[in-house]
Amino acid sequence: MLLQIADLHARVAGKDILKGVNLEVRAGEVHAIMGPNGSGKSTLAQVLAGREDYEVTGGSVTFEGRDLLTLPAEERARAGLFLGFQYPVEIPGVNNVYLLKAALNAKRKAAGEPEVDAYEFLALIRQKMKFMQMSESFLTRGVNEGFSGGEKKRNEVLQMLVLEPKLAILDETDSGLDIDALKVVSAGVNSLRDPARAVVLVTHYQRLLDYIVPDRVHVLSGGRILKSGDKSLALELEAHGYDGVLGAQVA
């Protein structure tokens, strides 16, 4: 089991948001977490990534058998957990590629590997950028500085492709994308699918799941996963809405 979440409770600013989340993700799987606004989807993503303003009040999370919750955020990242941010932040003056190289080297150092060679790195990043249909100007720009919404999301996926995480949690990576960008981003995610890795997609829209077909779909509502199923659950949600599918459970 790659990721095992048991009875997870968490609060933000004194408010209980997660109220007993249970979820198991095996290597090789793609899971989609859907749910109405305010159901706790982003909170779950942030808690897993280790953001400290999110207080875990109960339950446990193991990642490859290790207790994830005791690790600081940077160690979770180096262990192979990647969060694609819903709103990637701008860091003016810090070169986009410089940050990515620092990130890759931090991960390699933690794994006892030597730092990446500058030329090899440049070749790698050029190749991944081409795949993500990003212009060369991204090599010299500041981290997310002046990027459009769609460019920011592509940049998140680019980082993911370079860092090759074991578990990628993508928080609404599809929001704000036009159909062409959605295809590029989806192709990026699919290229990472591998028997050794898993992806958790947090999304509002079934549309994304046409391109990245999930193994499991979960509905998170009121801080708990109320229903799980295969990809047909997403279609059912689209047809009948959360109220229609969850019925009396939501009240």
Partner 1 sequence: MSGKSQEVEALLGQKYRHGFVTDIESDSLPPGLDEDVVAAISQKKNEPQFLLDWRLKAYRHWLTMQEPSWAQVHYKPIDYQDISYYSAPRAPANAPKSLDEVDPKLLATYAKLGIPLHERARLAGVAVDAVFDSVSVATTFKDKLGKAGVIFCSFSDAVRDYPQLVERYLGTVVPAGDNFFAALNSAVFSDGSFVYVPPGVRCPMELSTYFRINAAKTGQFERTLIIAAEGASVSYLEGCTAPMRDENQLHAAVVELVALDDARIKYSTVQNWYPGDENGLGGIYNFVTKRGECRGRNSKISWTQVETGSAITWKYPSCVLKGENSVGEFYSVAVANNYQQADTGTKMIHIGRNTRSTIVSKGISAGHAENTYRGLVKILPSASGARNFTQCDSLLMGPKCAAHTFPYMEVKNPTATVEHEASTSKIGEDQLFYCLQRGISAEDAVNMIVSGFCKVVFKELPMEFAVEAQNLLSVSLEGAVG
Contact residues: partner 1, CB under 8 A: 49-53, 72-74, 76-78, 82-83, 85, 88-89, 91-94, 98-100, 102-103, 106-107, 110, 142-143, 159, 163
Q: Nearer Cβ to partner 1, position 74 or 117?
A: 74
- Identify whether the C-beta of residue 196 lies closer than 8 Å to the C-beta of residue 140: no
Q: How far is the CB of 210 from partner 1 (least distance, A)?
A: 28
Give the CA count within 13 Å in the CB-facing half-sphere of 229.
Answer: 13
Q: How far is the CB of 209 from partner 1 (least distance, A)?
A: 25
d(CA 180, CA 37): 26
| Cβ contacts of 20 within 8 Å, gap of 6 or more | 7, 8, 9, 58, 59, 223, 224
Place of tokens 């036009």: 178
Q: How far is the CB of 141 from partner 1 (least distance, A)?
A: 12
Q: Nearer Cβ to partner 1, position 52 or 136?
A: 52
Q: How far is the CB of 81 from partner 1 (least distance, A)?
A: 8
d(CA 117, CA 22): 42
Q: Nearer Cβ to partner 1, position 91 or 239?
A: 91
Q: Nearer Cβ to partner 1, position 34 or 169?
A: 169
Q: How far is the CB of 80 from partner 1 (least distance, A)?
A: 10
d(CA 162, CA 138): 14
Q: Nearer Cβ to partner 1, position 104 or 209?
A: 104
Q: Nearer Cβ to partner 1, position 83 or 189?
A: 83
Q: How far is the CB of 55 from partner 1 (least distance, A)?
A: 12
User: Residue type at 97?
Assistant: V
Q: How far is the CB of 93 from partner 1 (least distance, A)?
A: 3
- Identify whether the C-beta of residue 116 lies closer than 8 Å to the C-beta of residue 101: yes
Q: Nearer Cβ to partner 1, position 94 or 239?
A: 94
User: Residue type at 160?
Assistant: M
d(CA 199, CA 32): 8
Identify the helix (H) or strand (E) that includes residue 54. Answer: strand 54-63
| Cβ contacts of 32 within 8 Å, gap of 6 or more | 200, 201, 202, 203, 208, 209, 214, 216, 217, 218, 234
